[in-house]
Structure 1
Amino acid sequence: MGSAVVKITDFGAVADGRTDCTAAIAASIGDVARTGGGRVVIPPGTYHTGPIHLLDDIDLHLTAGAVLQFSQDPDDYLPIVRTRYEGVDCYNYSPFVYAAGRANISLTGKGILDGSADDHHWWDWTRAGGDAGDGPAKRELLDAAAAGVPVAERRFGSGSRLRPGFVQFVDCRQVLVEGLTIRNSPMWVLHPLLCEDVIIRDVTVDSHGPNNDGCNPESCRNVLITGCTFDTGDDCIAIKSGKDHDGRRVNVPCENVVITDCLMRAGHGGITLGSETSGGIRNVVGERCTMDSPDLKRALRIKSSPRRGGVIENVRFRDITIGSVADAVIEIALDYENVRSGPYPPTVRDIEFSRVTAATAAPALNLVGLPEAPITDVRLIDCSFASMRSADRIEHVIGLQQ
């Protein structure tokens, strides 16, 4: 990365929370890229903006007191770009911070990324019923993928009501996100997709809308998530590898993922693998994490179904401290969404839990395999579950050691 340093205010950005700073930020990034790369600085203040697209060798740095406040107008996120919506490739609204095919890019600093999503903007798209919601577009996208429609022809955006993600990097190398607070996302918050060598460090995610997963490394290789805090409306961390037909078409696993020293508060799961597992997930380590909230449904979770397929293997959780969770401490469920039969039963094997402790939950274990796809080789070593409110559920599991 080069040594250039510029401020967006030098290119006309105004910190009044009203002036559209999209063009000024793009000009700043373009100027630094032309000189070989460097840092684009967001000074203290609130800057109203549309989508931000990073280029090679750019560090977008938010100083303490800086807020990037993203527009609530969907038209500001046009033209559409290549993206992935819930595990299926398509063209859709631009994510708020986006890069495709870039190298050596970063988001750093002590500032705030505010997506401005609420029940009247973005979140209402999925909560509305019938044609007013996102259901028709979701069905159209899934049907197109199943029929083998080329990705270039899966075009959504205006009128479709498929929400954009917040931070999405597609097919990028050497990615760093560090120090920031991210809040109020339309849906998935941090979504590295088909990326390699990713570090997400000391980030706080506070976002409680629908499908507001905190971090979703999908079909990535070599990912470190460390020192982060997640308080979310869906899974805190969910490792993924594509959905159904599209996941099998692309067929890229998510592999070599390390999660350390994170704090999980509210969410559907603390550390989750799935449910989009079609490309496979392997070589995952989660250690020294703390999870505690009555609004955290499950702590450690693997979820898939015989529609998904994929091999999930070589997963290690160790030194995980869990206070209160609403449902299971450990869940491996291959009947996600109550789907118990299908042509692509997943394979789940070689899963180890060491020194996992929990104060209170419903069951300690909810392990549900399938007759044609039993869960194999699950090991619990030096684990302690203090006050469980219900009995374990264990079905179609081979080689359970506890």
Structure 2
Amino acid sequence: MRSFNKIMLLVALAASPFVSQAQKGSKVQFTKVTVKAPFAMPAIKVPDLSRCPKFEVTGLGTAERDKTRNSKAIADAITRANAAGGGVVVIPPGEWPTVKVHFKSNVELHLSKGATLLFSDDPQDYLPAVHTTWEGMECYNYSPLIYAYKCDNVAITGEGQLKAKMDVWKVWFARPRPHMLSLKRLYQMAEKYVPVEQRQMVNDTAHLRPQFIQFNRCNNVLIEGVSIQNSPFWTIHPYLCTNVVIRKLKVYAHGHNNDGVDPEMSQNVLIENCEFDQGDDAVAIKSGRNPEGWRLKTPSKNIVIRNCLVKNGHQLIAIGSELSGGIENVLAENCTVQDGAKLGHLLFIKTNERMGGYVKNINMVNISSGKIDLGVLGIETDVLYQWRDLVPTTIKKLTPISDVHLRNITAKEAQFMSRIQGQKELPVKNVTLNNVSVGKITDKKTISENVTGLSVSQ
């Protein structure tokens, strides 16, 4: 058994019947998900690899020293599945240490029930640097733990678990001066439109933590069924993607910046039947920071979040603060915030005088919550966090915010129902709260600055 545990992860070889099927030209199938929304929501194309060959992986060793060999064997399986025209890489039951996993097109990573991929927390395991992002700015940084770049038809499925070791990453949660200076340098490079290839952010002091899962510039993405525990940074980050379905996930991540899902400059996105227990926002919709959003000119749009449970988080839905490419056509419906959860808002829209972009047609329907620390709806237009003192405003671009609609919302207790702090030069427009009920309000029902067209009705 000991010698068995030392065997690297094996992939089916040419004699395997799976590969012989692949040689016949197996192809990915597709289904389409139709979503009813108060805007024109295109049907979402979802990859179905159930008829593609399976590449079983066996012989994984549980010793930590096997992480690199395990990762290489998974990479070999992904390569074979891709070469077959489509395939499912199957991880068997057990806890398998690994380093980064990089996708190729037409590949499904399937975690069997009882399987755990345990990702290393050694930053060196996520080199060489890849084309990725940090808080809305593109750069070359440590690879996300699971990474797909310019891939089509990719999926993560199963009843298993993805888990990140955190001993190093949790030390990196701190933001000492060297880290802040690196952020400043990246911001200034983005502002000057320095080519992304020159924005190399891996050094001894930047400590820009990688996302757990990033699908970058991908089409037709499915993540279904798995549990995710811990994350160095944002947990799931669809970036510049089209057709994304995220369903039936259980996400637990209580570190710094541990949002659950961050769709950024992505379109046609469905997030449903998920459970979020977060150290930050459950779902945070973004579209690039300042010049990055202006350069890429890709709004986040057509995004539906439904039938989700939030156990903890900063907000149920956050819009921004990185929104320079624009955000429109969002629906959150039939979601529940567990009683006793630590939560700031149900819907929080945040921007500042540097972002530009726009926010419009944001809808929240049929939401129930226990006590909220702040309020049902918050809109703030002067949210700068560390950037207020780190770099000055050099280009002022305000964010038009309009058409925000909440209906059939209940909360047991909050400081306020809504607090809208618009800008005098560009007021927030057309906000409706219809049948929004808070059992106990500890401050004021509505707080409004620079708003036109606010309607509150029962």
Short-chain TM bin? over 0.9
Task: Check conservation: 1:13, 1:25, Cα contact below 8 A.
Answer: no
Gaps of 5+ in 2: 1-27, 29-50
**Alpha-carbon offset, residue 16 of structure 1:** 4.5
Q: Which residue of 2 aligns with 1:358?
A: 411
Distance in 2 between residues matched to 1:365 and 1:123, nearest whole Å: 35
Q: Which residues in structure 2 correspond to 1:243-258 (within 5 Å)?
A: 243-258=289-304
**Alpha-carbon offset, residue 8 of structure 1:** 2.1
Residues 189-227 of structure 1 deviation map (CA, whole Å, 9 limit, x = unaligned): 000000000000011110000000100000001000000
Residues 1:77 and 2:126 aligned together: yes
Distance in 2 between residues matched to 1:32 and 1:214, nearest whole Å: 29
Across the two proteins, how many residue pairs are aligned to each other? 396
Q: Equivalent residue of 2:454, what SS? A: coil
**Alpha-carbon offset, residue 90 of structure 1:** 0.6
Q: Equivalent residue of 1:8, what SS? A: strand
Distance in 1 between residues matched to 2:423 and 2:170, nearest whole Å: 35
- AA aligned to 1:166 is F
Distance in 2 between residues matched to 1:35 and 1:378, nearest whole Å: 52
Residues 1:121 and 2:168 aligned together: yes
Q: Which residues in structure 2 correspond to 1:239-388 (within 5 Å)?
A: 239-292=285-338, 293-337=340-384, 343-388=396-441
Residues 1:27 and 2:76 aligned together: yes
Residues 1:155 and 2:200 aligned together: yes
Q: Which residue of 2 aligns with 1:207?
A: 253
Q: Equivalent residue of 1:29, what SS? A: helix
Q: Equivalent residue of 1:163, what SS? A: coil
Question: Normalised by the size of structure 1, how large is the TM-score?
Answer: 0.95
Distance in 1 between residues matched to 2:90 and 2:215, nearest whole Å: 20
Task: Check conservation: 1:17, 1:46, Cα contact below 8 A.
Answer: no
**Range that drifts further, 349-358 or 30-39:** 30-39
**Alpha-carbon offset, residue 17 of structure 1:** 5.3
- AA aligned to 1:373 is L
Q: Which residues in structure 2 correspond to 1:165-184 (within 5 Å)?
A: 165-184=211-230
Residues 101-128 of structure 1 deviation map (CA, whole Å, 9 limit, x = unaligned): 11110000111111112xx411222315
Question: Among the aligned pairs, what percent are the same residue?
Answer: 39
Distance in 1 between residues matched to 2:341 and 2:376, nearest whole Å: 12
Task: Check conservation: 2:302, 2:330, Cα contact below 8 A.
Answer: yes
Residues 1:111 and 2:160 aligned together: yes
Distance in 1 between residues matched to 2:291 and 2:398, nearest whole Å: 13
Q: Which residue of 2 aligns with 1:139?
A: 184
Distance in 1 between residues matched to 2:60 and 2:55, nearest whole Å: 12
Q: Equivalent residue of 2:188, what SS? A: helix
Residues 1:394 and 2:448 aligned together: yes
Q: Equivalent residue of 1:316, what SS? A: strand
Distance in 2 between residues matched to 1:301 and 1:128, nearest whole Å: 24
- AA aligned to 2:380 is A
Q: Equivalent residue of 2:221, what SS? A: strand
Distance in 2 between residues matched to 1:151 and 1:337, nearest whole Å: 24
Gaps of 5+ in 1: none
**Alpha-carbon offset, residue 28 of structure 1:** 1.1
Residues 1:59 and 2:108 aligned together: yes
Provide the alpha-carbon RMSD of the alignment. 1.6
Q: Which of 163, 177, 202 is 1:130 aligned to? A: 177
- AA aligned to 2:84 is T
- AA aligned to 2:415 is A
Q: Which residue of 2 aligns with 1:7?
A: 56
- AA aligned to 2:369 is I
Task: Check conservation: 1:360, 1:386, Cα contact below 8 A.
Answer: yes
Q: Equivalent residue of 1:378, what SS? A: strand
Q: 1:153–1:208: structure 2 CA closer, same or farther, 3 Å change rule?
A: same
Q: Equivalent residue of 1:174, what SS? A: strand
Distance in 1 between residues matched to 2:262 and 2:254, nearest whole Å: 15
Distance in 2 between residues matched to 1:300 and 1:137, nearest whole Å: 31
Residues 42-66 of structure 1 deviation map (CA, whole Å, 9 limit, x = unaligned): 1000111111011111110001111
- AA aligned to 1:245 is P
Name which one, 1 or 2, has greater alpha-carbon Rg. Answer: 2
**Range that drifts further, 148-157 or 88-97:** 148-157
- AA aligned to 1:344 is K
Distance in 2 between residues matched to 1:8 and 1:188, nearest whole Å: 29
Distance in 2 between residues matched to 1:121 and 1:89, nearest whole Å: 23
